[in-house]
Amino acid sequence: MSVGDLAKPTLLASVTVKKEFMIDHLSRRALLKGTLATSSGGVVMNWGDLFHGPASLAAESAPTKKRCILLWMNGGASQFETFDMKPGARTGGTFRPINTNVAGAQICELMPKIAQQMDKLAVIRSMRTSEVDHPGGIYLMHTGYRPTANVRFPEFGAIIAKYNGREGTNLPNFIKVFSQADAGAGFLGPKFQPFAIGPEGSLPPFSSSSQSPEVESRRHQLRTFLEETYAKEHRAETSKMHREAYEASRRLQEVRKVFDIDAEWEKHSELYGNSVFGRRCLLARRLIEEGVTFVEVSQSSYDSHADNAVWHKALVPPMEHAWAGLLVDLQQRGLLDSTLVVWMGEIGRTPNINNRAGRDHYVRSWSTALAGGGIKGGQVYGESDATGVDVKDNPVTEGDFFATIYSALGIDPKKENFAGVRPIPLAPFGSKVVSELLTS
Amino acid sequence: MTQRSNDRRLTRWPLAALVSLSLVQAAAAGPPLREVIDTEVRAVWEREKVSPAAPASDAEFLRRVSVDIVGVIPTHEEAVAFLADQSPDKRRQLIDRLLDDPRYARHMAELWDVLLFTRNPPGSEVDKRDGFQGWLRQRFAENTPYDKLVRELLKAEGNSVEQGPPLYFVQYRQRPEDMTEVVTQTFLGVQLQCARCHNHPFESWTQQDFYGMAAFLARLQIVSAGKADNQSKYMVAEKSTGDILFTGAVKEDKPGKKGDPVAPKFLIGDPLVEPPLPDGFKEVAKFEENKPPPAPVFSRKDQLAEWVTRADNPYFAKATANRLWAMFLGRGLVHPVDNLSDSNKPSHPELLTALARELVEHQFDLKWLIRELCNSQVYQLSSIGPEADPLPRLFQQARVRPLSAEELMDSWRVATGFETSVKPDAKKNVGRFAPIDGGYMIRFFGQPNTGTGDFQGGLHEHLFLNNGPVSQLIVTSPGSLYDSLVKSTSPWPDRIDRLYLSLLNRPPNDEERQKFSEFFSADEKMNPERLRDAIWALMTCSEFRFNH
């Protein structure tokens, strides 16, 4: 008998067939999870998991859970130059509305391709949110909460990774391509931290190994031994996170090719439009197809305090081309019903056009759009008044918006996590799900 | 003042006033603080029916207290000597030695530097802080009483390079509101930021409280004073006139609204009594560059510095004691440490009161406080046990926290022998984190900087550890760990002992010895590459990454 076997007494009984090894391995995993759930049941800080043990979480994470792509319009796209046209009004701007494939629904002429996908979209024209500047707005529209000194709220990507993510996958469950948000996993802890891809789709530094496979495997063997030995006696969650992140970093090596989209891009550049945002959207589709739960792709910057029309004329066409391509691609691959596509920025823009032909920040009445998984497409929800100064009916707050997103993904927005001893619901207390936007 | 606000003030007092009322009375000679700590913490275990972990082993204690006090793990020789030492009070002696070690000042200065400037300070003028950091090191080396240190910092005399302190305000330029937020939060543990825009929703702070404090700092101006040692010098000047303007709740703000001046008023205290300006006083139009600014007729800033650091300030001693407690015990008695408020009560109120009272009685002597904390049995508990919370709420098991970027690098250098075996000239001009680029170290290990275990390290950290330049630390020069082990003729078990004692500061157990023996003897002759693998694995594992 070798020394290696001595280190694993639990395996001694199951030397007969490989199947038994599997069972043993699984039960050991399950046992570890159970232990952690029990021992953490009474603690205060368990990265949000006060009464929600990892074992039950794993059971919930069936492969059929919905995924999400966030198309982030950084700086705040103008509702008047996208989804909430005010032709003839003094606030209307220079562009004209066009018809869509949904009777009666008109959008901006800058978006002809999206107009042909309108039957998939639920546009909200009555957003009313509470952070009017970029840092606060970016935080708010990624977490559902305003920034505060004492609670580090998680981004909704981290929340969706937690509830709909798969365990033990090679790819991280939460990936961002060129994101401007930095709230990360907040109190949910490092397991749900986003994995950040550069603007051109490049992997973060040190993603590739320079070691020979032989050295890699030798090192891994020792590291695993060291971690297992330490974990026998030390139960702190932080060390567990450290071990899991190490495992995840190794598994990533198996799937690095997913991030190399060059070959596929040749075939798809027409569908997505020849732009960097198009490439990002294709990458998002590949990642979703590989099972990633949440992908954010961003385009920057819509912060058009001057020359609003010029900026939107430059930014919207490549964006809408890529977005429409993404929806078509997802549908063709049978992924659209299980993938929610969220389109938004952190703020809207003012009805008034300022003396530099720009529009400033505005959150009293603005627009967002949802499509795909769980969403009843082909509708416009809510309405702004004749000049777009205020919401006329059905206002949707950030809390309502996130409650609706979670519901569309099959996640109860009232579920609570804990920041210290303070229970924090996924969507802020008092938020309403806009059920008209949902298929069921 | 209205009756209503009087009532509010009264309800606010009891929590805050516990210290101030008892501060001035010299306490009768009671048990040493370390015993008070153990008694108070144990009483809560008994009440809550919690059983504590076993006492830490000598090896566990040695590594923990070394990282906590001097910011670096012990050397192989130090570990061997301490484990062999038979004297019954060797732990007490070790604590004294570490507090006298010059690395104590460096470590504390680095902790306070990050506390005062964060990893990303608001102004680029403060990216280079050699002068300021030198001042901090000097103060900790002299064990300057903490109240005096903070007073010097807030009075901001001299310039930012030769003296240092003015740099603290430079990062906030002419933004008294920002200064007010950080000063109250950092030194008093009071968070006023909500009251900047509206009356605080949960606490009793009003916007008048906020602007009353901001008024003390409203007259400050940052003045350039040339360059020295390739750093821009700045001075903090203060005008004799000028007020902070309060425009009401931000929600009701209208463009062009000018606002009303607010007079300086101490938080939970009286308005500042200011002497009138002399007849015919003429305000300085503009402070001249490169010249020491004239003193104001009456310095509001100095009044604030005095008030903040007074022994009977209702918050200062408590906030300081609580911060130090959290640095060594993990969780603050009030947690987070910079939020002392009625809605965030201490877990052990009597203990916090005792810590603050004795800190005042010992003239804010930080070394004394650290000595008491580290000599307590509570600090010396094992981190082995069933508790999964890295910062156990009742301190029944030692806390686990990640090493800071600086602690990690220094510990790597000591463990691999880089520190002693690489010639100094090879290390010249390569920065704090040589041989690794400091930008990467801060990026991957710079957060959290609270020392309290809000660990967020994830995938990116491991990509760096797996594929980054960490191996540059595994040097082969004479005297390095690698060199000694390759050249050694001792049997493998002895060499594995050396490996473990150098990296983890403990001898391996039988299972570990066997595993590594097997690993090294898998090749015909010992493959030096396998030694690199072993050192790498021990440098990057959880047992190294955390102070436990």
Give the pLDDT confidence score for residue A23 in this predicted structure: 32
Q: Between B267 and B430, whose confidence is greater? A: B267
β-strand partners of A380: A123
Q: How many domains does chain A have?
A: 2
> A182 or B164: whose pLDDT is higher?
B164
- Over residues B259-267, the mean pLDDT reads 91
Q: Which residue has the higher pLDDT, B35 or B525?
A: B35
A and B: number of Cβ contacts within 8 A: 171
- Residue pair A320/A113 in contact (Cβ under 8 Å)? The answer is yes
H or E segment to which residue A107 belongs: strand A106-108
Q: Which residues of A touch B548 (CB under 8 A)?
A: 234, 236, 239
Judge if A86 and A150 occupy the same domain. yes
Taking the CA of residue A394 and the nearest CA in chain B, the distance in Å comes to 23
Tens-place pLDDT, residues B478-531 = 999 999 999 998 988 899 999 999 999 999 999 999 999 999 988 766 678 899
Point out the domain boundary residue: A220, A243, A258: A258
Could you tell me the residue range of the domain that residue A228 belongs to? 208-258
**Residue A345, C-beta contacts closer than 8 angstroms, at least 6 positions apart:** A72, A73, A74, A75, A76, A77, A137, A141, A302
Best mutation target among A132, A170, A230, A239 (most B Cβ atoms within 10 Å) is: A239
Specify if A139 maps to a domain.
Answer: yes
The DSSP bridge pattern shows strands A121-127 and A422-425 to be unpaired
- The pLDDT, as a whole number, for residue A367 is 98
Tell me whether B29 touches chain A (CB under 8 Å).
no
Q: What is the DSSP string of B498-537?
A: HHHHHHTSS---HHHHHHHHHHHTTSSS--HHHHHHHHHH
- Subunit contact B533:A215, Cβ cutoff 8 A: yes
A351 part of a folded domain = yes
A234 lies within 8 A of chain B by CB? yes
Check whether A196 has a pLDDT greater than 60. Answer: yes
User: Which of A311, A300, A385, A319 has the alpha carbon at shortest distance from A353?
Assistant: A311
What single letter denotes the amino acid at residue B141?
A: A
Chain A contact for B84, CB < 8 A?
A: no
For residues A201 and A259, is the Cβ–Cβ distance under 8 A?
yes
**Chain B: residue nearest A40 by CA?**
B388
Residues A290 and A393 in one domain: yes
Q: Report the pLDDT value the prediction gives residue B192, as an integer from 0 to 100.
A: 84
Same domain, A311 and A229: no
Higher-pLDDT residue of A337, A42: A337
Half-sphere exposure for B119 (CA within 13 Å, toward CB): 16
Specify if A54 maps to a domain. no
Query: Would you place residue B426 in the very low, low, confident or very high pLDDT band (cuts 50, 70, 90)?
Result: low
Within an 8 Å CB–CB cutoff, is residue B191 touching chain A?
Answer: yes
For the record, the structure tokens of B176 come out as: 């008294």
Among A139-148, A228-237, A413-422, B221-230, the range scoring the smallest mean pLDDT is: A413-422
CB–CB of B463 and A206 under 8 A? yes
Examine the pLDDT at B22 and tell me if it is beyond 70. no
For the segment A34-53, what is each residue's pLDDT rounded down to a tens digit? 333 222 222 233 445 443 33
CB contact under 8 A, B387 and A249: no
Residue A418 lies in a domain: yes
Residue A81's closest CA among A61, A111, A125? A111
Q: Which of A234, A256, A363 is the best residue to mutate to test the B interface, defined by the most B CB atoms within 10 Å of its own CB?
A: A234
Q: Does B519 touch chain A (CB under 8 A)?
A: yes
Question: Which of A7, A241, A249 faces B463 most closely, judged by CB atoms?
Answer: A249
**Is A220 part of any domain?**
yes
Tens digits of residue pLDDT in B390-404: 999 999 999 999 999
Co-location of A298 and A249 in the same domain: no
Q: Are residues A306 and A338 in the same domain?
A: yes
Domain co-membership, A251 together with A339? no
At A275 the pLDDT is 96
- Which residue on chain A is closest to B459 by alpha carbon? A245
pLDDT band at residue B456 using 50, 70 and 90 as cut-offs: low
Contact criterion met (CB below 8 Å) for B20 and B319 = no
The mean pLDDT of A80-97, rounded to a whole number, is 96
Which of residues A258, A274, A291 is at a domain's end?
A258
pLDDT score of A150:
63
- Tell me the pLDDT of chain A averaged across its residues: 86
Q: Where are the alpha helices (DSSP H) in B383-437?
A: 405-416, 418-421, 424-427
Please indicate, yes or no, whether residues A137 and A272 belong to a single structural domain of this protein.
yes
For residue A5, the number of C-alpha atoms closer than 13 Å in the C-beta half-sphere is 7
User: Which residues in chain B touch residue A161, judged by CB atoms under 8 angstroms apart?
Assistant: none
Q: Is residue A353 part of a domain?
A: yes
- Overall average pLDDT of the B61-90 stretch: 98
**C-beta pairs of A391-396 under 8 Å, 24+ apart in sequence:** A391/A126, A391/A127, A391/A128, A391/A364, A391/A365, A392/A126, A393/A126, A394/A126, A394/A434, A395/A126, A395/A127, A395/A128, A396/A124, A396/A126, A396/A127, A396/A128, A396/A434
What's the pTM?
0.81
Residue A270 shares a structural domain with residue A254: no
Q: Are residues A254 and A269 part of one domain?
A: no
DSSP state of A365: S
CA B492 to chain centre: 41
CATH of the domain at A429: 3.40.720.10
ipTM score: 0.90
Domain shared by A365 and A402, yes or no? yes
Given this model, what pLDDT does residue A421 score?
63
Question: For the CA atoms of chain B, what is the radius of gyration?
Answer: 26
Q: Do A253 and A385 belong together in one domain?
A: no
Helix (H, G, I), strand (E, B) or coil at B80: helix
**Chain B contacts in chain A segment 108-137 (CB below 8 A):** none
Residues A88 and A154 in one domain: yes
Distance CA B548, CA B527 (A): 33
What are the structure tokens assigned to B498, written together?
């050396």
pLDDT over 70 (residue A178): yes
Least CB–CB distance from B466: residue in A4, A218, A249: A249
In a domain, A45, yes or no: no
pLDDT band at B428; cut points 50, 70, 90: low
pLDDT of residue B119: 84
Question: What distances in angstroms separate CA A334 from CA A315, A328, A329, B389, one per listed residue?
Answer: 29, 10, 9, 43
Summarised one tens digit per residue, pLDDT across range B107-144 is 999 999 999 998 888 877 898 999 999 999 999 999 99
- What distance in Å separates the CA atoms of residue A424 and residue A422, rounded to the nearest whole number? 6
Lowest pLDDT segment from A93-102, B240-249, B290-299: B240-249
Most confident of A293-297, B257-261, B337-341: A293-297
Quick one: pLDDT at residue A440? Answer: 81
> For chain B, what percent of residues have pLDDT higher than 90?
72
In a domain, A36, yes or no: no
d(CA B502, CA B78): 9
